[in-house]
Structure 1
Amino acid sequence: MTIATETSSGDVFNARDLAPDQVASSFLAPPIFEGLLSKVNNILEGPRGSGKTTLLRMLTPEAFSLFRESTPGKDIAFIGVFVPADVRWAKQLTVRTDRLSDPVAKDALLHAVFSVALNLALVETIQSCAVLHARFGDAHPALFFPLDRKAEAQIVEALSYVWSLDVPLKSFNGIRLALRKRQHELSAAAVQLAQGRPLLEVQAEREYISSTWLDNLVTAVESVNDVLSRPDQIWAILLDELEIVPPALLQTIVNALRSTSNKLRFKLALSPTGSDLIPHDQPGSSSHFEDYRPIRLWYERKNDARDFASRLFASSLSKMLGELITDADLTQTLGSSWARSSDEDEQDDVEASAPDTAQFQRLRAGAFQSLYENDESFKQLLDEKRIDPINPADRDGSPEGTLVRKITQLALHRAQELKSYTFAAGARKRGGARNLHAYTGFPNLIDLTEGNPRWVITLAELLVAEHRSTGLEFAAQSVQSNAVRDFVQQMVAKLTVYPTKFSFPGRRWTPYDFVKALGTSISSQLFDGPFKTDPRMSFVIDQAAIDQFGDYIRIAIDLGALVIMRRGGVAPLASPESAQTLVGSRVRLTYRLAPEFRLPLLYLKERSLSSALRAGELLPESDIRGDSSQHVLKESAENKNLPIQGRLL
């Protein structure tokens, strides 16, 4: 969502440390942005790079006002207070509490440390709203307010009282200094508690350790509203990356969604699996029906992502090249993809099927004829269905036409991959470098990004770099193929080096090994056996897979390598170290990895994750246990003749 003109490729860009004007000047609003401006609580779910931090930053008064200068629209209903819960912040909490054996003392210290972080963010926001009133106050009177020296002193005095702070100089700088001093005091208190000093003694010296962060926050905003004579002013706490917050503290944050002051709202950001930290099955727990609105920042279907990704891609190219390129120009700029894929639930939709171009009809006829001559299983299928390989029907008005459109992508990829297939000798593969032609042009090039803003920007950067280094047009096959190759390899490299836990004693795999087993389980269906009209290209997470590879599943989802197919629903919500509630969820490999395993941009039918992992020999059959094994064993019988690839053991 944020476009940086000086970012470096490699998916390293993050909006957390950018100034508000940098975030706002290059922000492209996704479809869900307007919904975030309302007064309801929200939980944003999305993998890395999906724009969670950018969206939260855009809800702050300065960034939002800057954005509205160039893009008019709905006003915001609250003053946003951004609290970046990054790794450094989480480590500070851990360092201060790790040595505490008393859970009550640990809980009290967590509240105190978190409260200081919130208080600092609140003071920063109040000062910013006052300083920027002259610039934005007329356009957004609900977000900005004038403060003279007397009013500033009144706010500082009120906050000092409710937070039990000694602030000699009644100014925003003075209260910030006092809060930073308190951070040092809390470190000393943590040492004392770790050495066995009773909590009551520490609290007697530092009364503020007895307060909860929520009490401190509620009294603070109500006191500020009194000084401002704005009794109905709403403040929204914008909390980023909550999955790294200690679970005991996170639970109190989640509980605040259910019942708190009507002057407070919460906009929380979590990874797709981090959201299972929010229990829905406990008495008094938050409900997405009543207490918050979940917002998903990933896309199950590529058509859902294509509009936003196209606009962001075009905008990125424009900024990098210094010339205007619109999303309507992308077909001409990038060229047209030689084949376009329909998602599973669109394949039977006649209205969604656009007429094929003459060029594509020739391409399909060539692939069908080649396979008919060299692939016994494909010939058998066409003969049985009475389909002419030289002139296959391509409209959905007949069963033959519907089948042809359904299998076209599979046939095109199989024709590129195989020299021949016979029932007696199996498949003979083609050699040489991989042909990335299937992933270039518009819209396939865009679809590889999954609508992930950081991925869109990265691919645009790679394409521009290749264009400049070769001097060739963007539509050149070599320019796009090299950009796609680098784009895929960046993802492979990240999955290869990302740290994981041991899955079995003495054996450890990388997340790439894990997704490779899934990728090869698909490619083996496509290329190693008879032609299949319904290969299983998506996965249902079963208990056996969770038992052995729960950590890998979580990592793959959080990094975007696996996409949860949960259209219209909310995330499964267990403990921070468990992926148990993912059982039964359907996932697919990201399209970004499709070129790595020579897969079409499809997901089609499903199979159990355990069955797929066994096909890559990542999960031995002897490890399948429990009720979920019945479905797995049934699939095993169906697929027992498939060749084994991706050997890891």
Structure 2
Amino acid sequence: MRIDDIYPAYNARHLNPNEVGASFIWSANFEKLIQNGHSVILGARGCGKTTLMKMLTIPALNSWRDKRASKIRKSIPFYAIYISTDIYWDVKNHTYSSQLEKFENFDQIISYFSVNSNVFTSLCDTFSYIIDEYELNDESKEIELCKALIEAWKLTQVIPKLVYIKEALNKRVDEVNQLVQQVIFNYKKGDIIPHPSYFNLNFETSVEAIIPIFERIYNLNDGKKWALCFDELEFAPLWLQQKLFRSLRSRKQFLLYKLSASPILSLELEKLLQSEYPATSGNDMQIIKMWNSGDNETFSSQIITSLLRKKFPGKKGIDFFGSNEVYNSSNLYTKGSSFFKKIIELAKKDPSFNDFLKDRNIDPNNPVINDKKLKDTIFRKIKPIVYFRDFYIDEISKNNNKVTYRSRKKGNELFFGLEVLSKICDGNPRWLIGIITSILLKSSESGAEKNLQFDELHSAALRFKNVIANIPIGNNTSYSLIDIMEKVGLYFKDQVLGERFSMDPKGTFEVDSKEILLTDDIIFLLEKAISQGAIILVDSKDDNFDFRIRGKKFKLAYLLSLLYNLPLRSYPSVKLSECLRGIKQVNQKTLFD
């Protein structure tokens, strides 16, 4: 199972640009992406990278219904050429790659050819979009353009129309696939393999040559640039990644690069960028880290509102889904408020919390603080922890600090409401759309019940956990990724719901820098978790790429936090090695035993 399988219907990869634009929600990241410069979007699967990239195209912008849409359509400073990475570009990862190794660089040639063909086809699409958008249909001009394409791309016997150019490119791809099969089954080492002249093409130099011809023929003099938008580069062959990241530094002035990839770039790419004079953020390009966006909750709330209005026009999110006391600011710290009562309740059954209050001169039976600054500092920090401990803990023995938990299988009083729904997907639109759509389908116009909201969130969390458990890891490690996630989750759970109350429980982890404390096998698994959004960087700087995860701080995805009864808050960090040692499950060894 892949991450895409959780909510496949909402994967932008399977939607055409018109469909993407029709449901698009504006975000700060999109505003960054449409700027007149090179951009690199980094984020986990499902975080919305593909949606943003497809939104740069003319059909997507035309189908977008938003108060900003008209202005953006007129002012966007480039024409986007959207190119979706195909896993078949990386021939070395194919099952038949070993059969091609004996033919020197034939696998590399096929990889170059595959990329070139996709770029050429995408360029034809963009030409068609522009011609239709500006009503430039003129048969003589199209013929002139297509003759130039036929010559540049070494096509033969093709009617000079864009639609037939694309057909010829697709036919050529099929012919090369047949050639690959013939080489595998009929050729032996030392045989001369056919090498047609179009194997020598280079998509960058070709695009740089063709675009000025198109602009001349159609008299385009609006000053717009052209953007090669390569999506999901984590699946692209290394040679292409290296070529594109080099191009962020030095290419034609009229050509921009918009790239998307996973949060952690490869070490091979790091070596390349360190050995040369690399592009730098702020000067040559802009790095857009999806997980660092300050408007994730606002963006999520807008998605929820949009889906709610389609299903139940006129309904407000806060009324339909309710508000969650753990995270809202109503009656925060006033005497007699729900929080005031929770403090008193918890102090009666939790000796450590009772001591915590007394140590700060707060009466457990009348928890009032007159100093506003001190009240905000203490009560704001402890509020989620108080609610969670009061909900899950029945009592804590004064004699041996043994914790007795309530026999509650559901956290329906904690995981519901607009605040939770806006937080729990960490800004991941695919998960959020799937969850909200499912809740709305099962709700009446009167609103979404707490139990229903929790059940849908819990179901999504379990499916996500199942995806993580089934991430292919090959034979590189004997450890289990789900085992690591489980131990981290249980460690954090013990921090929040353990025998002693803490105002600053450990809730994030730092990956140990020393291999003796944390082996490379575990690093390999963590990188898999990052690419799927199971763990999220929390201390990444916007102006730098991330190549190594040692020494960096992460949190569990909030959707997984639900499975361990954790508040949706970021807390201080602990070394991951300590996390993995800290909790032992029954009949299960730790990774260090």
CA distance in 2, matches of 1:604, 1:612: 14
Instruction: Choose which of 536, 539, 561 in structure 2 pairs with 1:563.
Output: 536
- Partner letter of residue 208 of structure 1? Y
The equivalent of 2:495 in structure 1 is: 525
- Partner letter of residue 572 of structure 2? K
Alpha carbons of 1:435 and 1:86: their partners in 2 closer, same or farther (altered >3 Å)? same
Whether contact under 8 Å (1:500, 1:552) holds in the other structure is yes
Whether contact under 8 Å (1:616, 1:645) holds in the other structure is no
CA distance in 1, matches of 2:158, 2:460: 55
CA distance in 1, matches of 2:506, 2:356: 18
1:225-304 equivalences under 5 Å are 225-230=215-220, 232-274=223-265, 278-279=269-270, 280-299=273-292, 304=295
Deviation at 1:357, TM superposition (A): 4.5
- Give TM-score, length-normalised by structure 2: 0.88
Whether contact under 8 Å (1:115, 1:216) holds in the other structure is no
Deviation at 1:42, TM superposition (A): 0.9
2:338 aligned with 1:340: no
The equivalent of 2:416 in structure 1 is: 440
Relative contact order, CA 8 A, sep 6+: which one is greater? 2
1:133-179 alpha-carbon deviations (Å, 9 max, x no partner): 33xxxxxxxxxxx1311111111111111222214322223322321
2:47 aligned with 1:47: no
Deviation at 1:89, TM superposition (A): 5.6
CA distance in 2, matches of 1:197, 1:226: 48
The equivalent of 2:340 in structure 1 is: 365
The equivalent of 1:38 in structure 2 is: 35
The equivalent of 2:570 in structure 1 is: 603
Whether contact under 8 Å (1:299, 1:451) holds in the other structure is no
Alpha carbons of 1:11 and 1:590: their partners in 2 closer, same or farther (altered >3 Å)? farther
Sequence identity, in percent? 22
The equivalent of 2:152 in structure 1 is: 162
Whether contact under 8 Å (2:152, 2:206) holds in the other structure is yes
Alpha carbons of 1:174 and 1:355: their partners in 2 closer, same or farther (altered >3 Å)? closer
CA distance in 2, matches of 1:552, 1:12: 28
2:150 aligned with 1:133: no
CA distance in 2, matches of 1:167, 1:585: 57
Whether contact under 8 Å (1:9, 1:461) holds in the other structure is no
Whether contact under 8 Å (2:89, 2:115) holds in the other structure is no
The equivalent of 2:551 in structure 1 is: 584
Deviation at 1:521, TM superposition (A): 0.7
Q: Which runs of 5+ in 1 are unaligned?
A: 1-6, 135-145, 342-353, 575-580, 618-642
Instruction: Choose which of 4, 14, 17 in structure 1 pairs with 2:14.
Output: 17
Deviation at 1:596, TM superposition (A): 0.7
Alpha carbons of 1:115 and 1:10: their partners in 2 closer, same or farther (altered >3 Å)? closer
1:167-186 equivalences under 5 Å are 167-186=157-176
Whether contact under 8 Å (1:594, 1:601) holds in the other structure is yes
1:54-453 equivalences under 5 Å are 54-67=51-64, 71-74=69-72, 75-87=75-87, 94=94, 99-101=100-102, 104-134=105-135, 146-187=136-177, 190=180, 195=187, 205-230=195-220, 232-274=223-265, 278-279=269-270, 280-299=273-292, 304-319=295-310, 321-325=311-315, 329-340=316-327, 356-357=331-332, 362-393=337-368, 397-399=372-374, 402-421=377-396, 422=398, 424-453=400-429
- 1:281 partner SS: helix
CA distance in 2, matches of 1:97, 1:258: 32
CA distance in 1, matches of 2:198, 2:230: 23
Deviation at 1:103, TM superposition (A): 6.0
2:452 aligned with 1:479: yes
Deviation at 1:182, TM superposition (A): 2.4
- 2:283 partner SS: coil
Instruction: Say what the alpha-carbon RMSD is for the aligned residues.
Output: 3.1
Whether contact under 8 Å (2:28, 2:293) holds in the other structure is no
CA distance in 2, matches of 1:126, 1:95: 36
CA distance in 1, matches of 2:97, 2:215: 34
The equivalent of 1:350 in structure 2 is: none
1:69-93 alpha-carbon deviations (Å, 9 max, x no partner): 8633232111111111144665798
Deviation at 1:558, TM superposition (A): 1.9
CA distance in 1, matches of 2:403, 2:304: 39
Tell me how many residue pairs correspond in the alignment: 575
Whether contact under 8 Å (2:401, 2:499) holds in the other structure is no
Deviation at 1:486, TM superposition (A): 2.2
1:465-513 alpha-carbon deviations (Å, 9 max, x no partner): 331xxx58325322322232223223223223332345644xx42x433
- Partner letter of residue 286 of structure 2? R
Alpha carbons of 1:189 and 1:214: their partners in 2 closer, same or farther (altered >3 Å)? farther
